[in-house]
Structure 1
């Protein structure tokens, strides 16, 4: 009976490439420290031999679980999809899985009892926190894996942050609307204690001040379409309606437009609306939504890279702020005379 061929080993790759086993390992785990010619030789040998990394064995040797946990508020929110995709892209190259936990579940508040059991090294090798409303004490317990904050953040949590320039987004929104000639602008803000809302508010007020405006009316809610739809009722009831509305998220703006149109107003003929985030839906609502674009996949990739550096005890940035940009579409125009 013919003997079954054994699977290719790392030694086979090293022999074919003419390098040491240690060099092959470096190409697989940290290719940046290996010359381009050596990387290509090793990768060509991997293709020829059909060698694949046994991640389970590697994780056992390194005393790793082989997964990273992402804590996400309200997973149904489409905003997080590209961030999670960016995280998964980086982890996949390292043979790590991405676990996602909805911190709110079916409630409006974080479910701390459901979260706490996952914050130990027997469940994950690292944690990316995408919610700023969690108690920092959760992550101070013995055995908690390395933590990185992304998108949202908590002032009390001592962990690296990967954010977008929310204040600049607020300034860009104010500059766009005032540049069109708007002087009576309503701000539909997120929760007052949310760090995203606070940063966007600061930037928005700075942008208004630069245009010679001292303040603006504000309605607070959450970041949901429901909040925008409810706000539309309040706007319709105002004796003096604003000529433009800046929303702290695209979901708020979509709900708002739906409510305004249902109430008989035209966007942007009667009132301009703009959002923040540039989720996929923003380009397909009617009219298409003017917004502030966050580059969410790069944010996710950078958060994963910083976490991997922490897990490997390598040098990393404590704070990364990614740029945003204004995307002008059909939901904003000069105010009607």
Structure 2
């Protein structure tokens, strides 16, 4: 007959250490500060017995876990991949794990994953979205403890937020392009309903106007290479096309560049280009692409700090706006003609 392997439990640790089960439980949950000798006895008993805490039981008892949830639109997108990596590193440094879900940027999957994260009693939820939002999702997010929005604000959701200065990014792009003499500029944005899209456009528009230039072309749509290809076709059909473009994401820029290359339109000879976020290997393109860089690592780190503070009872809901910077490369030049 096979003998059952001894699996030590909380009561075995308590008996070996000479304390109550409640003392061991509260010590492991960091709810109790013990004298040094008592804590040492408990630690020694855990090592001696090979005790491994039941994390699921602990999370049920505490109503939270040592895990934070991260919901992003697309793990293959360089921006979201870098953000996920920064969150994981910051969480690990704080002794937390990360439960990651990618939604394919669809509302039904967002709602599904928010519900699943709450059911798993994560300590907090870091949430990123990149499309128009439903009132049902907003309500679910408002009902989620320890919520932090990253990158994109969602109307009606009250929580801590880590965003970047999108307006400043648009202004820096417009200032740089007009400094090279461009007077007719295109804006190729993401979804028009998003606050980040409107803010980037507003910054570009205001910087252009301050220099006596104009945003002469606007196109909005999904963050995708297909959107970039559509933009290229639309730009090439304009009777008097802009001489420069500010593109709201790397994915859009990739499609735009591919279509321009097929059409024989050289960057920056016929069209100067600035890309927002600088997440992909934009320095490896020919020419290397000038970009507005978001502090992606800092965004992830600050978000983890906020979610950890919330899990310890901090009810503050700050909105943090991180600065962006212009990375000058070789995709902007003076226009041949206007």
Kept in 2, the 8 Å contact 1:171–1:203? The answer is: yes
Point out where structure 1 has 5 or more consecutive residues left out of the alignment.
1-24, 30-45
- State the partner residue of 1:71: 71
Say which is worse superposed, 147-156 or 128-137, in terms of deviation. 128-137
TM superposition shift of 1:117? 2.8
Q: What's the secondary structure of 1:216's corresponding residue?
A: strand
Partners in 2 of 1:285 and 1:223 — Cα distance? Answer: 20
Kept in 1, the 8 Å contact 2:216–2:242? The answer is: no
TM-score when scaled to structure 1? 0.78
- State the partner residue of 1:228: 228
Q: How does 1:250-329 map to 2 (within 5 A)?
A: 250-314=250-314, 316=316, 318-329=318-329
Partners in 1 of 2:284 and 2:262 — Cα distance? Answer: 18
Q: CA RMSD in A?
A: 3.2
- State the partner residue of 1:138: 140
Say yes or no: does 1:210 pair with 2:210: yes
Kept in 1, the 8 Å contact 2:74–2:80? The answer is: no
Partners in 2 of 1:296 and 1:56 — Cα distance? Answer: 34
TM superposition shift of 1:314? 2.9
Kept in 2, the 8 Å contact 1:128–1:150? The answer is: yes
Change (3 A) 1:204 1:110: farther
TM superposition shift of 1:72? 0.8
TM-score when scaled to structure 2? 0.78
- State the partner residue of 1:162: 162
Partners in 2 of 1:59 and 1:274 — Cα distance? Answer: 50
Partners in 1 of 2:108 and 2:180 — Cα distance? Answer: 40
Partners in 1 of 2:214 and 2:188 — Cα distance? Answer: 17
Say yes or no: does 1:180 pair with 2:180: yes
- State the partner residue of 1:193: 193
TM-superposition CA deviations, 1:263-313 (whole Å, max 9, x none)? 011111111111100013211122111110001011001001001101111
* Alignment partner of 2:122 out of 97, 121, 124: 124
TM-superposition CA deviations, 1:122-174 (whole Å, max 9, x none)? 34221111116442111244xx3320111111121001111111100000000
Q: What's the secondary structure of 1:303's corresponding residue?
A: helix
Say which is worse superposed, 236-245 or 300-309, in terms of deviation. 236-245
